[in-house]
Amino acid sequence: MALNSVSTVSSAANAQAHINQQDFLKILLTQLNAQDPLKPMDNTAFVAQLAQFSQLAQTQELSANINQLLAVQTAVQSVSLLGHTVSVASGGNVATGSVTDISVSGNAPVLTVHPASGTDLTGVALKQVFDIR
């Protein structure tokens, strides 16, 4: 059974693509101030812009919730490995041992694997695990 770790979107890229309600209101007020009083903005265009903004906000919230769900799923997967024997790719070698500890580094779980012979492997990422027994 293979496990894949969850990759997260960098916060810098997220910040650039993120528009909040304040930004939208500033754009809207600028649009309203710059319009010709004799030719006001079309109501349908205004409603369409509001709907697009609402959809954007819901999409961003859904994306954040999915990322949280994936993080929880990854944590649950790692906890279920405690006490199991796993094969791990480490430095071009394959090591087999029992998972003795789980910790979190950043926002990703890391394992400690105790092989039958040798020293413990610490800081093993879930993506390094390729076999579970």
Clarify whether residues 122 and 94 are in a common domain. Answer: yes
Clarify whether residues 50 and 101 are in a common domain. Answer: no
Q: What is the pLDDT of residue 19?
A: 66
4 band by pLDDT with thresholds 50, 70 and 90: very low
Interval 74-101: pLDDT, tens: 888 888 889 889 999 877 888 899 999 9
pTM, entire model: 0.54
Range of the domain at 32: 11-79
Burial 39-77 (b: 16+ CB within 10 A, else e): eeeeeeeeeeeeeebeeeeeeeeeeeeeeeeeeeebbeb
10 band by pLDDT with thresholds 50, 70 and 90: very low
Clarify whether residues 15 and 75 are in a common domain. Answer: yes
